[in-house]
Amino acid sequence: MKALAGVKILDFTHVQSGPTCTQLLAWFGADVIKVERPGVGDITRGQLMDVPGADSLYFTMLNHNKRSITIDSKNKKGIEILERLVKTCDVLVENFAPGALDRMGLTWARIQELNPRMIYASVKGFGPGPYEDCKVYENVAQCTGGSASTTGFRDGPPLVTGAQIGDSGTGLHLALGIVTALYQRTHSGKGQRVTCAMQDGVLNLARVKLRDQQRLAHGPLTEYSQFGEGVPFGDATPRAGNDSGGGQPGRILKCKGWETDPNAYIYFITQAPVWEAICEVIGEPTWKTDPDFATPKARLPRLNQVFGRIEQWTMTKTKFEAMETLNTYDIPCGPILSMKEIAEDQSLRATGTVVEVDHPKRGKYLSVGNPIKMSDSPADVQRSPLLGEHTEEILASVLGYSADEIAELKRVGATAPLPK
């Protein structure tokens, strides 16, 4: 039995932040009923399409293990279906622009009237304040949550990261809020609102930079490269390139083949407990006792020199050769893996982190599986639904509509586009 078996999710989400949340809940066994517009569906079905006539990977990789029902929320009968779903489901999840569900008539007060046990979960761009009605996308969230201003190199512009920390990161935060609310409901018997703002989610993931902002009041950030270079700090946490965000200095270093391979690099951390091993590996045994290098504090002003020497060694090895050698000494490091290398990594296939999924229209494709492994609730990744694929099934088995009633709902345009 899956961890969330028996939990019904009414999924009004679209694009990425909300679908990330509901997909995770579906992987844990919840029955996720994705509500879509008849004839249109989630906008990502048609975005970044690579196979003509098939749902895009943008959609399929965010909507596994769900059922799709098409409902026209502007149709009187469509609203009746939605209200019956509210009465039946445990959780409603949405990431619409502010006020969209209210305009459908599904205000929080109305939802509580229909189902006092309903958990109403929302992703928003900003929390209450001057920006709460503003529309937010992934990169906007990164910029307003403190990530972009602290990402990049000191002499360059702010940068967004390739990881979708604004959308997917917030979706993961919301999923935690939902399961927490479900647990509280077992004691209280009541539903509640659960909200996660994308700005808040990004800031939570960038908390070490807020840590550094406060440390600036007490002196320079000595683990940052600019300290060793004698560059003064300003009044805000600076961009620090590939410096480590922790107390152990780290850098991305070139490996053999870097001239032609854009990913022939390794991340190398000069962890204090293995400093003597590092000195032996790179051929600098005297650094173990040299007062300029023997202690972490002594090394901080000389990090460019230290990593320059380490890079001379890493450039004689491929990134995998370097990692193999360094791991024998317990020196923390990691190769820069391309998406091609990750896609071909058989160990990730074996753990279900990368999965192959078969789709009736686009054929087989790779996707990311559930990153959370549970010993008593293993996740199996099932393909995303076709638009409206489960409409009749849900109307009959979940809501109890008869075959004649289902046909009538379709005829009046509540569940299918009206003929033109």
Catalytic sites, residue numbers: 167
Buried b (16+ CB within 10 A) or exposed e, 318-343: bbeebbeebeeeebebbbbeeeeeee
> 316, exposed or middle or buried, with CB in 10 Å at 0-12, 13-18, 19+?
exposed
Closest CA to 318 of 368, 257, 359: 257
DSSP 285: G
DSSP class per residue in 363-382: EEEEEE--SS--TTS-----
Please, which residues bridge with residue 333 across strands? 268
Closest CA to 249 of 147, 158, 333, 154: 333
Tell me how far apart the 2 most distant CA atoms of the chain are, in Å: 87
Instruction: Tell me how far apart the alpha carbons of residues 388 and 30 are, in angstroms, rounded to a whole number.
Output: 19
Instruction: Tell me how far apart the alpha carbons of residues 196 and 174 are, in angstroms, rounded to a whole number.
Output: 6
Question: Coil, strand, or helix at residue 34?
Answer: strand
Classify strands 333-335 and 265-269 as parallel, antiparallel or unpaired: antiparallel
Sequence-separated (6 or more) residues with CB below 8 Å from residue 164: 16, 138
End-to-end CA distance of the chain: 46
